[in-house]
Amino acid sequence: MLVLAAIASGCTQDGGDQVTPAGGQQPLDAPPARALDSYATRLRAAHAARVAAAHRWDLRRAPSAAPPAPATKPRITTRKGFEVEGHRELGLPPVFTRIPTSDKVVFLTIDDGAEKDPAFLRMMSDLDVPYSAFLSGYLVKDDPGYFRRMQSGGVALHNHTLYHPNLRGMSYQAQKREICGMQRYMERRFGARPTLFRPPYGSYDRSTLRAAKDCGIAYVPLWNEEVFADHWEYRDGGRRLRPGDIVLTHFRGRDQWKGTMADMVRRFLNKVTAQGYTVARLEDYL
């Protein structure tokens, strides 16, 4: 931002709107400099808004703005040890816990839909933090408008089954009813069938992935860390984030947590920013 501002301010000489190149050539037109200055002004305003929002929501530091989508999408493959029999031969959706990237980014994903806290929507909108929601139909149906408001703010809504069962060991047909049934529900309620699916509890088998593929699912993201209102948990040991990590949390409140969803977001963002990471939009990397 400072570099852009410096460039913009340095594109004039003697207080004028034109730059005279070396060699006595005709002055360059001013509009590009003005456009760059206008862009730098917008960046400064956006940063100031994030700083104010961080203060309002009692964060230690303002989070960085989400990065743009990468020009080249990373190749997504199934994490070693997470394969099922015939995974590659059957073309089953990849199961992964992180995005292969050197970008210092992490991804926030939120499951189920039990808690519908309006303060959470305000907080995420104020801070302009991207996240992805994996919804279960039986928890959404009492207030789908809450998730439509989320969707209208740019949040992608994905499949987490109709009734949140442990799918592993269920028949192929039973699993297909859970996954395809939620696909149809999402299309009716939110206008599109998702291409991302997360099995409840992260539990799946070969039939799960076969059913997911047959229902139109392209990716099965799991997670490397889970954040709660009062603590973090880690899949792989250590307490540091890594580039591309997918972070799980849930729509929960004080009846199930030692805190609110705002407390969870605060804990999440404080760690992310302290370790020099930015929250990116998962769908931008897929």
Report pLDDT digits (tens) over 102-113. 999 999 999 999
pLDDT at 32: 74
Grade residue 17 by pLDDT with cuts at 50, 70 and 90.
Answer: very low
Mean pLDDT score, 183-191: 98
- Residue 26: is its pLDDT beyond 60? no
The answer to whether residue 99 scores a pLDDT higher than 70 is: yes
**pLDDT by residue (tens digit) across 223-273?**
999 999 999 999 987 889 999 999 999 999 999 999 999 999 999 999 999
Helices (H) and strands (E) in the chain, counts: 8, 9
The span from the CA of 132 to the CA of 159, in Å, is 11
18: left (phi over 0), alpha (psi -120 to 50) or beta: beta
Instruction: Kindly state the tokens that stand for 151.
Output: 């969707």
Bridge partners (DSSP) listed for residue 159: 135, 197
Q: What is the spatial distance between Cα 279 and Cα 265, in angstroms, rounded to a whole number?
A: 12
% of the chain beyond a pLDDT of 70: 89
Q: Residues 150-162: what's their mean pLDDT?
A: 97
As a whole number of angstroms, the distance between CA 266 and CA 173 comes to: 41
Q: What pLDDT, on the 0 to 100 scale, is given for residue 49?
A: 87
Q: Quote the tokens at residue 122.
A: 């305000």
In this predicted structure, the answer to whether residue 158 has a pLDDT above a threshold of 50 is yes
> What average pLDDT does the segment 95-118 reach?
97
Percent of the chain with pLDDT over 90: 81
In the numeric block, which tokens belong to residue 248?
């799980």
Neighbour-count burial for 15-44, b at 16+ CB within 10 Å, e otherwise? eeeeeeeeeeeeeeeeeebeebbeebeeee
Query: Per this entry, what is the length of the chain?
Result: 286
**What pLDDT, on the 0 to 100 scale, is given for residue 46?**
80
Residues 6+ apart with CB under 8 A from 56: 126
Q: How confident is the model at residue 11 (pLDDT cuts 50, 70, 90)?
A: very low
Mean pLDDT of 81-95: 98
pLDDT(22) > 60: no
Q: What is the pLDDT of residue 97?
A: 98
For residue 247, what is the enclosing H or E element?
strand 246-250
Confidence of residue 41 (pLDDT cuts 50, 70, 90): confident
**What mean pLDDT, rounded, does the chain reach?**
90
- Separation CA 250–CA 263 (nearest Å): 12
Of 65-69, 156-160, 237-241, which one has max mean pLDDT? Answer: 156-160
DSSP 45: H
Q: Give pLDDT, residue 7.
A: 41
In the chain, what are the domains?
2-45 (no CATH), 70-285 (3.20.20.370)
In terms of DSSP bridges, do strands 105-112 and 225-227 run parallel, antiparallel, or are they unpaired? unpaired
pTM of the model: 0.86
Q: Name the band, by pLDDT with cuts 50, 70 and 90, for residue 2.
A: very low
Beta bridge partners of 109: 132, 248
